[in-house]
A and B are shown apart, each in its own frame.
Chain A
Amino acid sequence: MGAPLAILNTENKKGLALISAPLGYVIAMLAVPLAAILLISFWTQDFQTFDTTPTLNNYREAVTDPLYRELLFRSIRIAGLVTLVTVLLAFPIAYFISFHVAPSRKSLWLFLITIPFWTSYLIRVFLWKVILGFNGVLNSGLQTVGIIDEPLTFILYNANAVVITLAHAFAPFAILPIFVALEKIDRSLLEASQDLGESKLSTFFRVTLPLAMPGVVAAVLIVFIPTIGDYVTPRLVGGPDGLMIANMIQVQFLRLNNAPMGATLAVIAMLSVSLIALLFVALNRRYLRGSR
């Protein structure tokens, strides 16, 4: 079995040596737990112990039980909505920084955008609770100035609150890749488009946007993948209608003491995410290919 290693030249060996430490880390922290989850998902909970006979019963139950299905679809829907809102809000910000901020100020602006991240994720979620609550900042503010009489109830303890909170939490992760893609656009391309008869607006749609697509795709994936499995935000601000699949996984593992079912749901959620992500990448291959 020495043959494959013998093929490696010194360059490859050096590369291998360089990545061996992180590779070991990734195997220990990612691959091993993943394999464990996969294994457990084929087992059955037998009161305090596992029945390790491999079975697909968990998967059958997960697919047929409408509760699980509803939770999975809701997770996809909420994550999709979060992604849409985040990217739509992030794009103008990234565009503004890239095109309208003096080059010497750009890093300052990017720095300012990270400021909310100096506090913990949990605290930020609680802050949104304070802002969106029944007697929260938003409602009392709007009531004081007389815009509303009754407090708004559709903004907390439901899916909307989850979307608002997550969109805020992931904004910088969407802004940065879009900003980088916009920065890479050669400004003379925009002038060339105008020189060839296009207005500023049509130049945006024919040149800027297509060239920014790799950044947008990256932003979509970066936001969508973690939000679909988010667990803290739906738990804290989602109310009963805002719960997502990760909350159910937690319930299975901890409260119902059914680790195999939790593992099965985790695997299914993972597969759904991979499928959607792959679909998205495939759809945008054209753009990803176009920019070198």
Chain B
Amino acid sequence: MTALIDLKNVNKYYGDYHALRGINLEIAQGEFFSLLGPSGCGKTTLLRTIAGFEAPSDGTLHIAGADMNGVPANARPTNMVFQSYAIFPHLSVAENVGFGLRKAQMSKQEKMKSVEEALDMVGLKGFRGRAAHALSGGQRQRVALARALILKPKVLLLDEPLSALDKKLREQMQSELRRLQRQVGITFILVTHDQEEALIMSDRVAVMFEGEIAQLADPQTLYKRPVTRKVGDFIGVMNFLPATVKDAAAIDLDVAGLGAVTIAEDQAPSGITPGAAEVGIRPEMMSILFEGEPDRGQITQATIKDRAYYGDMTYYDVDIEDAPKPITISMKNMIGRPVLEVGDTARVSWDARSLVLFSA
């Protein structure tokens, strides 16, 4: 099967500034795809290139097999939900949603029905006559969604659609967007700087730094096996420990604080060489052993240096002998688990399978 969207070696320059660097990307029909990265990494630029608002400096872009070179935005099978929502302030909700239907081969009644259905789909039944400026942020976003989806695009592009909403509403919209995407079966490309949002919603995520795709993977792989320290650091929290590769073939390591370990091939980058390297481990992949809890293979002694109590979780910073920095461990506050005090000693259990090796 050929990809619905196919970018080959796309570069974008703004004057001397290299905003997109050799982007290669294939996105399948029906996929919920996210572009994730810090502010200024080129996510919007890439999205706007797909939408037709920016022309690539070089490289090719195909959508549904058609070369998009020279095809203007109004002729592309894409629609966009703008970061500001771009709701037309001089039009009513229904006029906004029906904006793109002007040239559609439909009777007036059919158009009205279509608008009604689109509003219904985004949960805005009965809002058709409302003036655009009498809408809340969440409602504006729904109007923007309905306005784009009513045209049944092949691809829906969303530029940080949830970043302006408060936390509760954002979480609600996350699941609603996901449901909507499954319902309509349209390919969604979501731009976000929120790693949690990308993990929750996407089938696949492209992590971008400075105009380049650093890693392209499904959420679990991305979280469990980041390919570089930078990706691991950007997605969630990760502890990094200096390590030495003793044997590159068997992948025998000596990790500061954790000692000698052997890891599997999928935990290491390709082409490792003996010598200095770095190992990463997630806070929840290490665990403080309380009374009666089984260990997970490896045990290390630690002292609590600091702690942050979150209600359902407690985050501990622990000192481990030979480790240059305190290590963060997250513990779920379950029955039978006391919250430890600073200065307490603890036994920390971990599993070699949770380690990720990065080349230095």
Contact = CB atoms under 8 A, between A and B. Distances in A.
B168 interface: no
Contacts of A193: 88, 99
**Chain B CB within 10 A, most for which of A188, A198, A207:** A188
A65 interface: no
B151 interface: yes
B53 interface: yes
A196 B79 contact: yes
A197 interface: yes
B108 interface: no
A192 B91 CA distance: 14
B74 A198 contact: yes
A194 interface: yes
A197 B72 contact: no
Interface in A228-262: none
A290 B147 CA distance: 19
Given A196-B99, A292-B133, A287 B90 contact: yes
Nearest to A290: B90
B103 interface: yes
Contact of B72 (A189, A194, A292): A194
B163 interface: no
Nearest to B144: A192
Contacts of A196: 74, 79, 99-100, 147-148, 151
B167 interface: no
A186 interface: yes
B90 A192 contact: no
A67 B181 CA distance: 74
Interface in A195-247: 195-199, 202, 206-207, 210-211
B90 A291 contact: yes
A186 B84 contact: yes
Interface residues of B, number: 25
A198 B86 contact: no
B133 A188 contact: no
A192 B89 contact: no
B356 interface: no
A191 B73 contact: yes
Contacts of B73: 191, 194-195
Given A186-B86, A287-B90, A290-B89, A191 B53 contact: yes
Contacts of A206: 99
A40 B338 CA distance: 95
Given A188-B84, A194-B72, A194-B74, A292 B102 contact: no
Interface string B79-96: 110111010111100000
Interface in B130-173: 131, 133, 147-148, 151
A285 to B, nearest CB: 12
Interface string A117-149: 000000000000000000000000000000000
Given A197-B102, A287-B90, A290-B90, A191 B82 contact: yes
A199 B103 CA distance: 12
B90 A188 contact: no
A244 to B, nearest CB: 36
A188 B86 contact: yes
A202 to B, nearest CB: 8
Contact of B80 (A189, A192, A210): A192
Contacts of A198: 74, 100, 102
B184 to A, nearest CB: 17
Interface in B37-78: 51, 53, 72-74, 78
B230 to A, nearest CB: 31
A191 B48 CA distance: 10
Nearest to A185: B89
Contacts of B99: 193, 196, 206
Contacts of B131: 290
Given A186-B84, A191-B53, A197 B100 contact: yes
A34 to B, nearest CB: 36
A195 B88 CA distance: 13
B82 A192 contact: yes
Contacts of A188: 82-84, 86
Contacts of B83: 188
A196 to B, nearest CB: 3
Contacts of A211: 89-90
Contact of B90 (A194, A197, A202, A210): A210
Contacts of B91: 290
Contacts of B78: 195
A195 B79 CA distance: 6
Interface string A67-98: 00000000000000000000000000000000
A197 to B, nearest CB: 5
Nearest to A189: B86
Contacts of B103: 197
Contacts of B51: 195
Given A196-B99, A197-B74, A197-B102, A191 B86 contact: yes
9 contacts: A188-B82, A188-B84, A189-B86, A191-B80, A192-B88, A195-B73, A196-B148, A198-B102, A287-B90
Interface of A: 186, 188-189, 191-199, 202, 206-207, 210-211, 287, 290-292
Interface of B: 51, 53, 72-74, 78-80, 82-84, 86, 88-91, 99-100, 102-103, 131, 133, 147-148, 151
Given A188-B82, A197-B100, A291-B89, 19 more contacts: A188-B83, A191-B53, A191-B82, A191-B86, A194-B53, A194-B73, A195-B53, A195-B78, A195-B79, A196-B79, A196-B147, A196-B148, A197-B102, A198-B74, A199-B74, A206-B99, A210-B90, A290-B89, A292-B133
Q: Sort A-B residue pairs by CB-CB distance and give the 7 closest, nearest first.
A: A196-B100, A290-B90, A192-B86, A188-B86, A194-B74, A194-B73, A210-B90
